[in-house]
């Protein structure tokens, strides 16, 4: 009974350590991709931030098969789940500019709302297009499999 309990706890701990290690490595790789893309965007004087360049590079790697989604999923899920923590420094900095918010608060609010709506619409469009592409690829795989089974 005690040996079974010890084995169960040890296997749970090993699973936790493995899962945590995978998250750390994947998040570090994503951060490394961002760092390289940011350096590239600065060196080439691109008009877009390094994060956008890194996102495009990761998307290209995912679509080309250079990176399997499972290689970045755990790290990306962790980063997305804790994304709210990344906005705390911006909120603290906003407190320092109370006068600016009193003078131009409505303009800033308009920009924030407009920007948020544009991001939401573009993300919805991108997700819809990705879902359509995924459905087409799945249909092709099924058709290909049916064709080869008959042959």
Q: Where are the domains of the chain?
A: 1-81, 86-151
54 in Cβ contact with 34 (< 8 Å): yes
What SS3 class is residue 49?
A: coil
Which residue's entry shows tokens 């994060």? Answer: 51
Q: For residue range 28-65, what is the model confidence (pLDDT) as tens digits? A: 988 999 899 999 999 999 998 888 899 899 989 888 98
6 DSSP 8-state letter: H
* Residues sharing a CB contact under 8 Å with residue 111, sequence separation 6 or more, in sequence order: none
Q: How far apart are CA 43 and CA 46, in angstroms?
A: 8
Tens digit of pLDDT at every position of the chain (151 positions): 565 555 666 677 777 778 888 889 988 988 999 899 999 999 999 998 888 899 899 989 888 988 888 888 888 888 888 777 776 666 676 777 777 778 888 888 898 889 989 999 999 999 999 999 999 999 999 998 888 877 6
Which run of H or of E encompasses 51?
A: helix 50-64
């Amino acid at each position: 009974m005690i040996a079974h309990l010890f084995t169960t706890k040890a296997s749970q701990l090993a699973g936790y350590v493995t899962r945590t290690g995978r998250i750390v490595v994947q998040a570090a790789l994503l951060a490394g991709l961002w760092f390289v893309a940011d350096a590239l965007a600065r060196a080439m004087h691109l008009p877009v931030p390094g994060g956008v360049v890194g996102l495009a590079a990761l998307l290209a790697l995912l679509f080309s098969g250079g990176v399997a989604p499972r290689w970045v999923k755990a790290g990306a899920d962790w980063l997305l789940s804790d994304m709210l923590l990344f906005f705390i420094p911006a909120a603290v900095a906003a407190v320092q500019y109370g006068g600016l918010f009193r003078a131009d608060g409505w303009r800033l609010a308009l920009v924030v709302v407009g920007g948020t709506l544009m991001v939401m619409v573009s993300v919805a469009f991108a997700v819809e297009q990705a879902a359509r592409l995924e459905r087409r690829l799945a249909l092709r795989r099924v058709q290909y499999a049916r064709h080869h089974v008959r042959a």
